Amino acid sequence: MRISFDASELDIDLIHAFLSGAYWSVGIPRHTVERAIAGSLCVAAFEADEAGEDEQIGFARVISDRATFAYLADVFVLPAHRGKHVARAMIQALQDHPELQGLRRWALFTRDMQPLYARLGWKAYPNPERLMVRDDPDIYSR
């Protein structure tokens, strides 16, 4: 497995195909995925296929001011490659990235991957009564 921060290597078709069916972004338009990638620090995982060519097997991105705060989003690993620590490697690479050091807070939303993030030092938000969101979950279906 190889981890890369090189945006020119990203398979936008693959990323859009996955995200448009993911529970958190059903129906997301391709142009929205492209804008999100352009405004984020992205990481991808690659593995050589039978012909020896690298194919993308995972993706994650961080939205950050690179000084105080980072939001981890759109973490995924293709089903055939799950259980091989791909997500863990991508998240660790983001946490270790030189531009993301010294941040006061990182945040993410997840429905079911709390154990993975906990192994990487993440915890439930200690003051949920302080946290507010402005949410529009149906925005891609209009």
- DSSP, collapsed to helix, strand or coil, labels residue 81 as helix
- In percent, how much of the chain has pLDDT > 90? 84
Instruction: Return the pLDDT at 41.
Output: 98
> Which amino acid is residue 94, in one-letter code?
L
User: What burial letters (b/e) apply to 15-37, b meaning 16+ CB within 10 Å?
Assistant: bbebbbeeeebeebeeebbeebb
Q: Which of 21, 24, 31, 33 is nearest to 137 (CA)?
A: 24
Instruction: Return the pLDDT at 67.
Output: 97
Q: Which position has the token pair 């529970």?
A: 23
| CATH ID of 2-141, from 3.50.50.60, 3.40.50.970, 3.40.630.30, 3.10.20.30 | 3.40.630.30
> Which amino acid is residue 110, in one-letter code?
T
Instruction: Return the pLDDT at 138.
Output: 85
Confidence of residue 66 (pLDDT cuts 50, 70, 90): very high
Query: 46 and 2 in contact (C-beta within 8 Å)?
Result: yes
pTM: 0.92
Q: Which position has the token pair 């402005």?
A: 134
Confidence of residue 73 (pLDDT cuts 50, 70, 90): very high
Q: Does the structure show a pLDDT above 90 at 141?
A: no
Instruction: Return the pLDDT at 27.
Output: 95
Please give the structure tokens belonging to residue 73.
Answer: 């989003």
Residues 111-125 have a mean pLDDT of 91
